[in-house]
């Protein structure tokens, strides 16, 4: 069956609920103490004025400071006498007539000189656009200053002095702007350091970026909103009971697990389960991601861990959910960074906090990860995350319940049967099913339908599994013929070999990166696989390549993906599952571990060169035997190969029932739109369970179900 992984969680509808509170406002019995909406715990940002208000206030302050400087300057020059600007010719006339009593020579900008004179008495002169005006004080620009001019002033009895000129008001402003800028930067930095600049202040780096959800935010989720993981919900019932009534366990000396670790593939609903526990227990819910602890600054992660638990203690009883904890809880050791790695310091602080707060404090930690193998052993020991809850992909009944929840939000036709869809979508997670329902709704909307039909669900399923149809792709007739024989080779091997999975559909319509697809659906649920079954699967994988060789006596690149899958399956048979007589019951595969897990800095081989050569020979022998069997099978049924390929070229798609009719020699009915999903899903098993053996075979299951001829 197809195992499909999506990096999203199973989402269902949220329900709002009201909480009954005693009149005195205090919690009674075991009811948790909830805060009012205006007093909820916040992160480092905290309640306060909005950023817009802070900006406006700052602008007003700096504007007032600038206006004050201008006013002071104007007051300083308010008592100065008015000086009229005259031309140089008028100045020479006044000088010749000995009407100037005193003068001040000022050096202006650009090394120019200004003559500021005082007349012996007021006289009428044409100034200010030629209007006659009585003046006594005037100014004029000299341009330069030399000894002859100074001698003339002295000879005419003018009392004159020399001084450096004052800068204009805008010059003063320019001179003080750098100081104002420094003051502004200093005040800005200090406010940020004090946390007044919001959640990104320097001193607030150590604050946990935790988000708190409670009933006032309308995000309450119940167990009825979660489907497809009944066993996981049963495991979490004790956590709910403890949060509802802690005294029930305390009076008997029992201790609730301090940490619960949710394990499972992406999209199975781990985050939703954690929210449901909080909703059922009716307690505050703190949510934070593992990546939120680690920053580029040393010590920030450990500080945020401490702040997280401080906030949680103030709201106890409460639930703290850490999503993707593998980002901070990875194995410590000799990996890059050593013991001074910031991530390791954060993990150490988390270990101390989880095993250090008071017993029965009412704080329960729930973490989620899809990589439990990389977590540090100290994190999983009793007293920390001592309970592990597996949230696996849903079985057929769980898929049906999930589909019903998602179908509540869309109008569906009477022909839609969630049970049939669930049985035809093995291996899908809750997120995959949510995506399936959404895609079906989009198909119906494109056709302007008023409701979603079974045909839309079938089209959505084909799109998700096999990709989007590439109708605009131009394929030559010769290449189309080779593709048809390739896919029919897969299909005939699946039909003629006894241990093969039943063929579901054969198509040469390009989808995704494949020019053609042959899909299989197992007739019964399998959790372990025999050697004969695996050898049969390899034969079906290589049958497409064999068909090209038998019919056209040539090979194409279309078999590349088939060879990759067949080789991988043969290697597992020899190296991991002990299915080689020459190797025997020995596991010779190198254990694949990431360098950054800290376990080993480099990979090392644990087999000799002779054993490695023997392994290669055994893998090649399995593949050659399967290839020869596939060629012989198609040669024995060459007429059937030609017949089915010709029909496939005409119809482009053949389902399993039509293939059976062709093999029996019956005529196919005219092309009609029928629900193939309904026909083939009814033969699938109703009871499905996941076992470690099935999980180990998951990659091969997926690869064998869809035989792709990649172009």
**Strand ranges across the sheet with 706-710:** 653-655, 503-507, 514-520, 706-710
3-class state of residue 5 by DSSP:
coil
- How far is it, in rounded angstroms, from Cα 540 to Cα 629? 10
The candidate with the shortest Cα–Cα distance to 639, out of 515, 550, 549, 542, is 550
Q: What share of the chain is helix, strand, coil (3-state, %, to 5)?
A: 45, 15, 40
Q: What is the CA radius of gyration of the chain?
A: 42
Q: According to the 3-state scheme, what is the secondary structure of 207-268?
A: CCCCEEECHHHCCCCCHHHCCCCHHHHHHCHHHHHHHHCCHHHHCCCCCCCCEEEEECCCCC
DSSP code string of 408-458: TTS-B-TT--HHHHHHT-TT--HHHHHHHHHHHHHHHHHTT-SSB-HHHHH
- How far is it, in rounded angstroms, from Cα 176 to Cα 62? 14
Q: Do residues 167 and 110 touch, judged by C-beta distance below 8 A? A: no
Residue 601 φ/ψ, nearest 5 degrees: -80, -20
- Residue 131 exposed, middle or buried by CB count within 10 Å (0-12, 13-18, 19+): exposed
DSSP code string of 191-206: HHHTTTT-TT-STTTT
Q: Can 487 be counted among the known catalytic residues?
A: yes
Distance (Å) of CA 36 to CA 29, 33, 127, 216, 279: 19, 10, 76, 8, 17
- How far is it, in rounded angstroms, from Cα 477 to Cα 678? 33
- How far is it, in rounded angstroms, from Cα 214 to Cα 298? 33
Handedness of CA 231, 383, 257, 325 (dihedral sign): negative
| Structure token digits, residue 450 | 């008023």
Catalytic residue among 487, 535, 618, 700: 487
User: Which residues of 80-141 form beta strands (DSSP E)?
Assistant: 84-85, 100-107, 113-127, 131-141
User: Which residues form the catalytic set?
Assistant: 487
């Amino acid at each position: 069956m197809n195992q499909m992984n999506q990096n999203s969680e199973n989402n269902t509808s949220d329900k709002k609920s009201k909480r009954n509170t005693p009149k005195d406002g205090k919690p009674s019995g075991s009811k948790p103490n909830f805060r009012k909406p205006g007093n909820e715990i916040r992160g480092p940002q905290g309640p306060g004025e909005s950023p817009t208000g802070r900006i406006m206030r700052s602008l007003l302050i700096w504007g007032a400071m600038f206006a004050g400087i201008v006013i002071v300057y104007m007051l300083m020059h308010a008592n100065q006498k008015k000086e009229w600007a005259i031309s140089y010719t008028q100045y020479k006339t006044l000088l010749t007539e000995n009407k100037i009593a005193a003068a001040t020579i000022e050096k202006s900008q650009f090394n120019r000189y200004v003559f500021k004179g005082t007349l012996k008495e007021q006289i009428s002169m044409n100034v200010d656009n030629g209007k006659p005006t009585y003046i006594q004080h005037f100014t004029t620009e000299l341009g330069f200053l030399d000894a002859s001019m100074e001698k003339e002033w002295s000879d005419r009895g003018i009392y004159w002095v020399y001084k450096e000129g004052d800068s204009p008001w805008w010059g003063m402003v320019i001179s003080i702007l750098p100081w104002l800028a420094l003051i502004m930067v200093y005040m800005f930095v200090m406010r940020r350091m004090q946390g007044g600049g919001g959640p990104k202040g320097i001193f607030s780096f150590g604050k946990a970026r935790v988000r708190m959800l409670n009933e006032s935010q309308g995000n309450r989720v119940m167990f009825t909103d979660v489907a497809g993981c009944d066993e996981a919900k049963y495991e979490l019932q004790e956590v709910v009971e403890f949060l509802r009534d802690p005294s029930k366990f305390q009076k008997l000396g029992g201790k609730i697990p301090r940490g619960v670790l949710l394990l499972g593939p992406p999209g199975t609903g781990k985050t939703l389960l954690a929210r449901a526990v909080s909703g059922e227990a009716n307690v505050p819910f703190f949510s934070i991601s593992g990546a939120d602890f680690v920053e580029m600054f040393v010590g920030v992660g450990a500080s945020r861990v401490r702040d997280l638990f401080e906030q949680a203690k103030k709201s106890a009883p409460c639930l703290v959910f850490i999503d993707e904890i593998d980002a901070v809880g990875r194995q410590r050791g000799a990996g890059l960074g050593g013991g001074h790695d910031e991530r390791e310091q954060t993990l150490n602080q988390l270990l101390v906090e989880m095993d250090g707060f008071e017993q029965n404090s009412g704080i329960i930690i729930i973490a989620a990860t899809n990589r439990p193998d990389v977590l540090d052993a100290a994190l999983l020991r009793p007293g920390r995350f001592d309970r592990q809850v597996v949230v696996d992909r849903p079985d057929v009944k769980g898929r049906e319940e999930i589909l019903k929840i998602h179908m509540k939000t869309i109008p569906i036709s009477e022909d839609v049967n969630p049970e049939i869809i669930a049985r035809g979508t093995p291996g899908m997670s809750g997120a995959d099913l949510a995506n399936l329902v959404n895609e079906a709704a989009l198909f119906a909307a494109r056709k302007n339908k008023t409701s979603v039909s079974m045909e839309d669900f079938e089209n959505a399923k084909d799109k998700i599994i096999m990709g989007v149809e590439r109708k605009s792709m131009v394929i030559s007739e010769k290449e189309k013929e080779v593709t048809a024989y390739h896919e029919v080779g897969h299909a005939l091997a699946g039909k003629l070999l006894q241990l093969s999975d039943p063929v579901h559909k054969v198509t040469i319509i390009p989808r995704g990166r494949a020019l053609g697809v042959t899909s299989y659906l197992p007739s019964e649920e399998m959790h372990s696989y025999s050697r004969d079954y695996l050898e049969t699967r390899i034969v079906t994988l290589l049958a497409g390549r064999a068909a090209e060789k038998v019919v056209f006596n040539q090979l194409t690149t279309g078999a590349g993906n088939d060879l990759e899958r067949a080789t991988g399956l043969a290697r597992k048979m020899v190296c991991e599952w002990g299915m080689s007589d020459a190797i025997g019951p020995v596991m010779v595969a190198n254990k694949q571990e990431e360098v950054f897990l800290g376990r080993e800095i480099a990979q090392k081989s644990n087999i000799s060169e002779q054993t490695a050569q023997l392994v290669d020979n055994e893998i090649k022998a399995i593949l050659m035997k399967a290839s020869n069997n596939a060629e012989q099978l198609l040669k024995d049924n060459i007429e059937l190969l030609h017949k089915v390929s010709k029909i496939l070229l005409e119809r482009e798609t053949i389902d399993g029932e039509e293939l059976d009719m062709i093999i029996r020699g019956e005529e196919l009915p005219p092309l009609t739109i029928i629900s193939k999903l309904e026909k083939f899903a009814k033969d699938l098993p109703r009871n499905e369970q996941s076992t470690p053996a099935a999980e180990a075979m998951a990659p091969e299951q997926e690869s064998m179900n869809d035989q792709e001829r990649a172009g």
